[in-house]
Structure 1
Amino acid sequence: MTDRQVFEVEPLGHVVGGRIEPTDDYWGGTEAVIRLDSARFTPEATRGLEEFSHLEVVFRFHLTDPADLHLGARRPRDNPDWPEVGIFGHRNMRRLNWLGVSRCRLLKVDGLDLHVAELDAVAGTPVLDVKPWFVDFGPRGDVRQAAWTTEMLGDYFAEPAEG
């Protein structure tokens, strides 16, 4: 029995500045602003946020081609050296609801502008939710992950080479 429900969500803001094209790596040093919707929020909505070093951001992969949805297994980044992994073993943009989750550094709060670093979302990205990162919500117990992920993400938060 399938109990499918449809939910409607509205962006609470958008990413301004930063990267303009999504890429697989080199998000280190990337700075952007999450600009919250001033028609719905006042600066009171961000009160106290400056006390936190990191944010958890939920956003929509708005540049993804809907025809590029892969519900089954495939190789990460199409690398033949890595195993086939099902859709729920990936963290990429090819997702049923096109949702991304990122933990980024909060640099500054300026009214409704949240200045962040290492947010792996591009300019124009609709932001669906912003939450402060609580250390207490971090992983409990031993953490494990597939070996291929460490190889794949070796340059993910590296800074781009000059040139």
Structure 2
Amino acid sequence: MPILMNPVGYVRSTRTTPDDDGWGAIPAHIELDPDQFGPDALLGLADFSHVEVLFHFHATEAAPETGARRPRGNPDWPRVGIFAQRAKDRPNRIGATLCRILSVHGTTLKVAGLDAIHGTPVLDIKPVMKDFLPRDEVHEPEWAKELMRHYW
């Protein structure tokens, strides 16, 4: 059954290519769709430090991956399934990132740490609440730590 979604807004950023690293230094704006939302949609969001942004990897040209591969094609890393990595060529092209809120003005949300390029459709914005974060210790394989070393 197909699921249809309309973007709630779009990313505005100086970053126009989906390169793998260096995302932390580039602030981004999320502009809500003015036909759907007024400033009340973001009311109270500035009281939070972070948001989770769900977005669509709209500029990905590779065929969706459905099996296993080496992350970033690195032969030193193990083959892992697409659901054991956060690659952009996923089956439904959905990205999710926790971002720091820099400011809220009208229908524009300015964030830091959003790994989405200019024009990216935003599907949803959720406040980050401690009780929705993992309650147990988070662990990950060494290849993931190495991959993330220069990501932000």
> TM-score interval w.r.t. the shorter chain?
over 0.9
Matched, 1:96 2:87: no
Q: Distance in 2 between matches of 1:15 and 1:56?
A: 14
SS of residue matched to 2:11: strand
Superposed displacement of residue 117, structure 1:
0.8
CA–CA separation in structure 1 for the residues paired with 2:2 and 2:103: 35
The alignment status of 1:26 with 2:47, answered yes or no, reads no
Query: Does 2:33 match 1:37?
Result: yes
Name segments (4+ residues, structure 1) moved above 3 Å. Answer: none
CA distance in 2, matches of 1:45, 1:53: 17
- In structure 2, the partner of 1:72 is 67
TM-score, normalised with respect to structure 2: 0.97
Q: Which residue of 2 is the match for residue 147 of structure 1?
A: 142
State the 1:143 CA deviation: 1.4
SS at match of 2:83: helix
Residue aligning to 1:82: 77
Deviation at 1:68, TM superposition (A): 2.2
Residues 27-70 of structure 1 show CA distances to partners (whole Å, capped at 9, x for unaligned) of 122101000011111111111000011110000000011x5222
Partners in 1 of 2:49 and 2:8 — Cα distance? 21
> How many correspondences in the alignment?
152
- Structure-2 separation of matches of 1:71 and 1:143: 25
* 2:29 is the alignment partner of 1:48: no
Output the aligned Cα RMSD.
0.9
Structure label with greater radius of gyration: 1
Inter-partner Cα distance in structure 2 for 1:135 and 1:141 = 12
Displacement of 1:79 after TM fit?
0.5
Alignment of 1:108 onto 2:103: yes
Structure 2 CA distance for aligned equivalents of residues 32 and 143 of structure 1: 27
SS at match of 2:80: coil
Letter of the 2:3 partner, please give it. Answer: F
Q: What amino acid maps onto 2:5 in structure 1?
A: V
Q: Which residue of 2 aligns with 1:62?
A: 58
Give the gaps of 5 or more residues in structure 1.
158-163
TM-score w.r.t. length of structure 1: 0.90
* Cα distance in 1, alignment partners of residues 33 and 75 from structure 2: 43
